[in-house]
Homo-oligomer: A and B are copies of this chain.
């Protein structure tokens, strides 16, 4: 591998001139710049990342802690990851994947492997928050803990999403509604989005005087079937359902039909899921989009802002937008 010294020699300049030509941190005459660029091209030179990191105390790498575990919706996760990776690429960063364990956080930060962190799957009272806050490197959470500890956060406003879905059903005249939500294990570890979704749902139901039921549901066809059956047993006159469980969604709809309740004839459905899921079902479903890829990119933007100015911490909640696709029937 060619070094910066090889380039300098070939271009007939000093190392520092090459370095400055590369970084643009001081003016270089057009003639010199041309010779340097030529030498770089001829040698196929690329700065050694380790050497650069050692000298500059920057790695241009972002750590990404993503839940590679079950229960969470892999499809949504992948979209977040894709957003972070492409956003990072655009900003000149690479992405180091970290596992969920506490140890990897300390390891990559204290060995200076990463300049910053994106943390997903945040719990309401997340154990990692104090550690993150104490770090030299800035971090952005995808999710919203009960107490952000001064950390930057970004997420869809799930409270609003839950409320908005309910209000859509109420406006259509529905008075008995249910939430088919995240799997029990996700709820049990107080994952931020599940809590907020439930709060928004319940709050709007109570405000609107609607009879309601919340059903944590496994991310599987069998789980969806079981939840629908439970729902029909406990709330036989249910007419409106909010589904915040991408895997269950199609099976929820087909189970209602198997049980003789047409969608949207007898039961109206509002989903909270990525747009591509809502549109690729046999029947298009009215939904609130989870703009996962966009949020991933916003997370990176916030991170670069923080690296420029560490005082820029903020909480950003993306407002939900409901798209009509005809799966809600007006009882009016």
Which of A's residues lie within 8 Å of B, judged by CB?
Answer: 1, 44, 46-54, 59, 61, 64, 68, 70, 74-75, 77-78, 81-82, 85-86, 89, 94-99, 104, 106-108, 110-113, 136, 218, 220-223, 225, 250-251, 254-255, 276, 280-282
Copy count, this protein chain: 2
Complex alpha-carbon distance, A89 and B280, angstroms:
36
Residue contact A99 to B107, C-beta cutoff 8 Å: no
Whether A54 touches B50, Cβ cut-off 8 Å, given contacts A220-B280, A250-B250, is yes
Q: Which of B54, B78, B282 contacts A48 (CB 8 A)?
A: B54
User: Closest 6 A-B residue pairs measured CB to CB?
Assistant: A50-B53, A220-B280, A68-B82, A46-B110, A50-B54, A50-B50
Residue contact A68 to B78, C-beta cutoff 8 Å: yes
User: Across the interface, which residues of B come within 8 angstroms of A44, CB to CB?
Assistant: 110
Residue contact B281 to A222, C-beta cutoff 8 Å: yes
Complex alpha-carbon distance, A258 and B95, angstroms:
45
Nearest CB of B to A77, in Å: 7
A76, closest chain B residue (CB):
B74
Q: Which of B75, B85, B86, B221 contacts A280 (CB 8 A)?
A: B221
A293, closest chain B residue (CB):
B68
User: Across the interface, which residues of B come within 8 angstroms of A223, CB to CB?
Assistant: 280
Q: Sample 21 A-B pairs with CB under 8 A, ordered by A number.
A: A1-B110, A1-B136, A47-B111, A49-B111, A49-B113, A50-B50, A61-B96, A68-B85, A74-B74, A74-B75, A85-B97, A86-B99, A89-B99, A95-B97, A97-B97, A218-B280, A221-B282, A222-B281, A222-B282, A223-B280, A250-B250
Residue contact A68 to B49, C-beta cutoff 8 Å: no
Nearest CB of B to A97, in Å: 5
A82, closest chain B residue (CB):
B68
Nearest CB of B to A78, in Å: 4
Complex alpha-carbon distance, A281 and B222, angstroms:
5
Nearest CB of B to A282, in Å: 5
Whether A59 touches B50, Cβ cut-off 8 Å, given contacts A74-B74, A221-B281, A250-B221, is yes
Residue contact A97 to B68, C-beta cutoff 8 Å: no
Residue contact A81 to B107, C-beta cutoff 8 Å: no
Complex alpha-carbon distance, A222 and B276, angstroms:
12
Q: Which of B54, B106, B222, B255 contacts A51 (CB 8 A)?
A: B54
Complex alpha-carbon distance, A78 and B113, angstroms:
24
A101, closest chain B residue (CB):
B89
User: Across the interface, which residues of B come within 8 angstroms of A78, CB to CB?
Assistant: 68, 74, 77-78
A48, closest chain B residue (CB):
B112
Of the candidates A77, A113, A222, A281, the one having the most CB atoms from chain B within 10 angstroms of its own CB is A113
Of the candidates A49, A70, A95, A110, the one having the most CB atoms from chain B within 10 angstroms of its own CB is A49
Residue contact B94 to A95, C-beta cutoff 8 Å: no
User: Across the interface, which residues of B come within 8 angstroms of A51, CB to CB?
Assistant: 50, 54
User: Across the interface, which residues of B come within 8 angstroms of A136, CB to CB?
Assistant: 1
Nearest CB of B to A95, in Å: 5
User: Across the interface, which residues of B come within 8 angstroms of A218, CB to CB?
Assistant: 280
Nearest CB of B to A246, in Å: 11
